[in-house]
Structure 1
């Protein structure tokens, strides 16, 4: 028997709630990239080595990755409202501690704390918006939520650069205080208390999954620094990652109430959407990791100018999300919109493969806007489809998995492109150098221009390295374009979202 039931939860002030959870999402998303540009300044102040300062980023990423899967269980036991308030307050307080840190040990500890509290913010914000909007408006809800998730990492580097240059690196963290305070009071005033249920915590399953996720994140984040499998550390982390995931899979199969239900991947829409968000994480974060060093290191742009050139990417994303939310509400096929977005993203990456060291600023801006449009057109439909065929009660747990897939995708993407960048630079340098023989026309022209002194030879070597690096960047852009194109057939796995005009019906059990 089927009966029509309410598909969403009524709240007294939905506008305030939406604004508050968007602020919480934006705050967490900003911190994934905002500290990157401040690392050189922090390194001097904290008297840290290059390897030590890298833990400022690694500790946050690893802590957030380990804690994200626990969001579903914590929300069911504590209630979504209480958990969201604790997460916002804890993240804001940890940000203050980071801004006040005077040593590298304290900074790493506070970043761990920040990652633990911040892990729940994105999945809780997403599941909350899905619950307070009716099913036919889920596209608009995901467009609002996606503005924080997608725009935050894009705005992080320029905002971090401006704060560091104009004030100090401390403000990279202290900027979270007013944002967190507004989000905290807004959620407290607009989100009603929800029901809780007591359930046993699966410590064994959590331990297996934490070992697997933590070791994988360390493997990806430190692999390039430690020369991958040439390092005992990386070998151990790879073995622990495999062992942790294998043991959890076995545990899940034979456990009555596992920590994280892998059975959610049996839902075709959720599985395909999770794969898509993984690819999206690769493209978005890998691009954001590549462009600043390309613009600053090879084209000699200052930090502020680099930020201004990257900011239009966020504008494109905002435009796409506002547009796609309206289109989905009017019954547009989410798969078609996502396909258009993937094609735009692939086109922008193809355009980036044609960059050179004299590329005009206008070309960089236009390419960024096109890529922002593409990513926005993909993110909202995929986020909407992911939960369209899942039970309402599984949304928070599914949102945790969805966020984890995006985070792992970002780590994989950054790891791959940085490794290839380093190795391809060396290969390209060797290839170019072999063509500069003393008897070649090119060498004769360079010698006539630079002369034969040691300083001039060093300048020649520097230019060869610069050109080799530029080619390596283009190779990375080409790889991401291929990944984007290859993932487009995944759209065929998605089932269409029910039309907005269709009545919301659920089956009685």
Structure 2
């Protein structure tokens, strides 16, 4: 290690090179995570313009997520094969090219192909951005590097719905992809100019063909099953059954093969480490609940509170306020703190926020709606950075790219699973509450008949219209009660997974991570 505090003789960046380099890496990360959510609110408009149904349009999200999930764990192998900086720059440039292709797509088929490419090349961006940022900072500032990364990774999905809604309403859905072009070109140029003399060694490694093929099959099958399960009524659909069986069988083969192969494409032996195992499970379960709620909250705000897409996005945007403000603070307190304590405080904070949301009613005002979202920024700032430090701590330098790729893969895939389970759970609880409320809707119940008569007088309508109005109101109430159940269960889950944090060994800062990041 040189006197600068950077491992393997590579000095940390300083001055303008440091500022521009870290900004460019963070920008590339932001561009990637933003694209994971920006298309969500544009699906109805996009589908209409391309002449397809909304269900068909959702493949734009499904295929991006599936391709991204497959590519992320391959980062370790690709880094050793290509080199860290070269791989990062090429991934950005291909992301830019595929983004332009998405915007220019004349039909759904071309758009889906472009989204598959976009998702695949986006895979290495998140884990490599962690490694590049860690290598850019002095060892004692590695906590600040992780905090900066966590801030960009958190703000992207939050900003996505608001930005996507504004662009779609004001311009065209194509521009949600076009905006990546100037951003990506700047990031790629700046990163190559600053980091090319810091390239990591590359070597020709044989590819684990069976591992890659089986990974693509089981991840792709499971991702499509999760995304389409609700639309196809889950296991009442032969397609869902087929996808589920294929995913389970091929996953079993994949695990056995990767554990016995001399050069596995994904090093599952990383899970033998207590910190990697406990930290990865904790951050993945937490992210699954966090991200799933981030998806369904705007849906409820738009569908049942009557907010426009851009307003629904703005209602969730305050989450990023404390996440941004506290990022530099985290960089200062992490070196003096036990990561497990910070992560525990984050989980308890999330539990409190979701309990507040479980008290929502259909008459919720804007202040009551936004306050938990604003407060959620505090545990969000305490969430990613300490757990990432725990996961990467104590690993040898050559394991960092693979470990970062695998932990990010598990986390992002858990987000997909959580979103599917929460959406289905919300639907099922809504049906249950609807049935319970309807038990009182009987002509023998004087309260019900009195309510119908009151609606007739107030709205000056006949009985059929009054019954329709009653049914609509009942649906809104059932949906609210179902969502309250999801929020309450989310709070319970965050408390229940706190022990996972304490399975890990104590680590007081991210120094080990920074040391490791310098050598891959």
* TM, length-normalised to structure 1: 0.95
Aligned ranges 1:288-367 → 2 under 5 Å: 288-329=294-335, 331-367=336-372
CA contact (8 A) 2:389 2:510 kept: no
Q: Distance in 1 between matches of 2:445 and 2:397?
A: 70
Structure 2 stretches of 5 or more lacking a match?
457-461
Aligned ranges 1:150-165 → 2 under 5 Å: 150-165=154-169
- Tell me how large the CA RMSD over aligned residues is: 1.9
CA contact (8 A) 1:310 1:368 kept: yes
Superposition deviation, residue 269 in structure 1: 0.9
Superposition deviation, residue 138 in structure 1: 2.2
Superposition deviation, residue 465 in structure 1: 0.8
CA contact (8 A) 2:165 2:310 kept: yes
Aligned to 2:59: 55
Aligned to 2:104: 100
Superposition deviation, residue 500 in structure 1: 8.2
Instruction: Kindly provide the CA deviation profile for residues 41-86 of structure 1, in whole angstroms up to 9, marking residues without a partner as x.
Output: 0011101123311111111011111111111111111111111111
Q: Which moved more, 1:10-19 or 1:213-222?
A: 10-19
Q: Does 1:492 align with 2:482?
A: no
Aligned to 1:376: 381
Q: Distance in 1 between matches of 2:396 and 2:56?
A: 44
Instruction: Kindly provide the CA deviation profile for residues 399-445 of structure 1, in whole angstroms up to 9, marking residues without a partner as x.
Output: 11111111111111110111112222222111111112223343133
Aligned to 2:229: 223
Superposition deviation, residue 11 in structure 1: 4.9
Aligned ranges 1:435-446 → 2 under 5 Å: 435-446=440-451
Q: Does 1:25 align with 2:29?
A: yes
When residues 361 and 382 of structure 1 are mapped into structure 2, their CA distance, relative to the original with a 3 A threshold, is same
Helix, strand or coil at the partner of 1:493: coil
Structure 1 stretches of 5 or more lacking a match?
none
CA contact (8 A) 1:7 1:134 kept: no
Superposition deviation, residue 5 in structure 1: 8.3
CA contact (8 A) 2:167 2:173 kept: yes
CA contact (8 A) 1:282 1:410 kept: yes
Instruction: Kindly provide the CA deviation profile for residues 97-150 of structure 1, in whole angstroms up to 9, marking residues without a partner as x.
Output: 111112111111111111011111111111222233344322211110111111
Q: Distance in 2 between matches of 1:137 and 1:395?
A: 18
Aligned to 1:280: 286
Instruction: Kindly provide the CA deviation profile for residues 319-378 of structure 1, in whole angstroms up to 9, marking residues without a partner as x.
Output: 23232221113x111111111111111100000100111112112222002212112201
Q: Does 1:265 align with 2:271?
A: yes
Q: Which moved more, 1:211-220 or 1:390-399?
A: 211-220
Between the two proteins, the alignment pairs up a number of residues equal to: 501
CA contact (8 A) 1:34 1:156 kept: yes
Aligned to 2:459: none
Instruction: Kindly provide the CA deviation profile for residues 177-234 of structure 1, in whole angstroms up to 9, marking residues without a partner as x.
Output: 1211221111111112321112111111111222221112112111111111111111
Q: Distance in 1 between matches of 2:172 and 2:448?
A: 46
CA contact (8 A) 1:319 1:373 kept: no
Instruction: Kindly provide the CA deviation profile for residues 430-479 of structure 1, in whole angstroms up to 9, marking residues without a partner as x.
Output: 11111122233431332222224212211111111111111111111122
Aligned to 2:455: 450
